Amino acid sequence: MFNKSKLPILKKFYLYSLDNIYILNIILTPLSLIYIVINFFKKILQTKRRINTVPVIVIGNLTVGGTGKTSLVIWLCNYLNARSYNVAVISGGYKTTDPRKLEIVDDKSSPSEVGDEAILISKKTNCVVCKCKDRKKAYEYLAKNYSLDVIISDDGLTHYKLNRNLNIVIVKESKPFGNGLVLPAGPLREPPSAIKYYENIVFNKSKKSDLKGFYYDITKAISSVNSTEIDISDISGTTAHLVTAIANPDLLIKNLERLNIDLVTHIYPDHYLLNEEDFIFNDDYKVLMTEKDFVKCEKFKLKNTYYLPTKIIVDNDIKIMLNDKLLDLLKV
């Protein structure tokens, strides 16, 4: 693999340090203690017992960055839709032009306005998707204006103003808590000990892992020009470019390398708005990207470029756990 990261040098080092402990992390530890105290009082002040008129499920993680939340949100939406439940999704609108503006995603929505995750959820499900940084405001709007059985919040574990009926916490299989430190010295929003307060833990794992959770199933790639599908085995044994702007591309890279694809990686900051020039190379290698990246690039109609559909396989143990929880919550 050849890595051509587009991240600034300092940011690359900082992100790398989140999985390790260096002098920088030790220097930042006092700020982490302040963060813990502020978050503690924020939780006390903002958490209020309210009865939700529509049940709320929050899918989140203890760390910053990608753990597969949006993929599990899409799966759960379709799982509930198949059982004739009306579902809506709240997306935080991170790095959009106006995160606090409440918007319902439609065919005319752009990634810069509502976010790539919100558009992807809308495309992959039949659910209403509402973008707004104020998740409580989004909940109130959805509950008032739509006939819903459940509202799912994509991320938002520490958005305490939003009362929730069920928390689902996703944990990475590899280095689940990074270096074990809280922001900014580490990647954690809460200390590692906070995991014991959450009952529903789901691992984003590899296919062969014995942990209970889900894994990504990469079986095909789809042309960005005409939607023609090719089997991923057609790319196996070749060199390909991977252009991506997701928070944690490491697991994706490992999965593709396991498929015997020699990657030239081009890593951009999370939610970066990819442009056409980012896909121009002086060779004839195939160019790969995630489906989340594709929603920002669909209009380019890039030749020899393919996206990898977002598909996860959820363990039966997790389905049984969710069925038990949803039975109480939704009478599934």
Q: For residue 127, what pLDDT is reported?
A: 97
* Cα–Cα distance measured from residue 106 to residue 161, given in angstroms and rounded to the nearest whole number: 27
Question: Is the per-residue pLDDT at 82 higher than 70?
Answer: yes
Highest mean pLDDT among 10-24, 62-76, 231-245: 231-245
Q: Does residue 197 or residue 9 have the better pLDDT?
A: 197
Residues 212 and 237: their CA atoms lie apart, in Å, by: 31
Task: Give the C-alpha separation, 185 to 5, whole Å.
Answer: 23
pLDDT bin (cut points 50, 70, 90) of residue 14 is low
pLDDT at 178: 87
SS3 for 39-105 is HHHHHHHHCCCCCCCCCEEEEECCECCCCCHHHHHHHHHHHHHCCCCCEEEEECCCCCCCCCCCEEC
Backbone angles phi, psi at 58, to 5 degrees: -105, 125
Residues 6+ apart with CB under 8 A from 37: none
Residue type, position 122, single letter: S
The CB-side HSE value for 62 (13 A sphere, CA atoms) comes to 27
User: pTM of this prediction?
Assistant: 0.91
Check: CB of residue 105 under 8 Å from CB of residue 132.
no
**CA distance linking residue 117 with residue 123, whole number of Å:** 10
- Beta strands (DSSP E) in the chain are 2-3, 56-60, 87-91, 103-104, 128-131, 150-154, 166-172, 201-204, 213-216, 220-223, 229-231, 239-244, 262-267, 286-290, 305-308, 312-314
Asked if residue 240 lies in contact with residue 260, where contact means CB atoms within 8 angstroms, the answer is no
CA–CA gap between residue 67 and residue 204 (Å, rounded): 7
pLDDT of amino acid 265: 94
Calculate what percentage of the chain has a pLDDT beyond 70: 94
pLDDT at 17 over 80: no
**Whole-number average pLDDT of the chain:** 90
Q: What is the pLDDT of residue 269?
A: 87
Structure tokens at 13: 């080092």
Residues 305-325 have a mean pLDDT of 93
Q: Decide if 149 contacts 182 (C-beta within 8 A).
A: no
Give dist(CA 282, CA 278) in Å, integer: 12
Of the pLDDT bands very low, low, confident and very high (cuts 50, 70, 90), residue 16 is low
CA-based torsion, 294, 123, 128, 155: positive or negative: negative
Tens digit of each residue's pLDDT (9 = 90 or more) over 251-287? 899 899 999 999 999 999 888 889 999 999 999 999 9
Q: Is 90 exceeded by the pLDDT of residue 101?
A: yes
Q: What is the pLDDT of residue 244?
A: 95
Task: Evaluate if residue 95 carries a pLDDT over 90.
Answer: no
- pLDDT band at 70, cuts 50/70/90? very high
Q: What is the pLDDT of residue 50?
A: 75
**What is the per-residue pLDDT for 9?**
56
Radius of gyration of the chain from its Cα atoms, rounded to whole angstroms: 20
Query: What mean pLDDT comes out for the span 170-189?
Result: 90
Average pLDDT over residues 65-81: 93
Tokens of 24: 């920088």
**pLDDT score for 7:** 57
Tens-place pLDDT, residues 105-150: 999 999 999 999 999 999 999 899 999 999 999 999 999 999 999 9
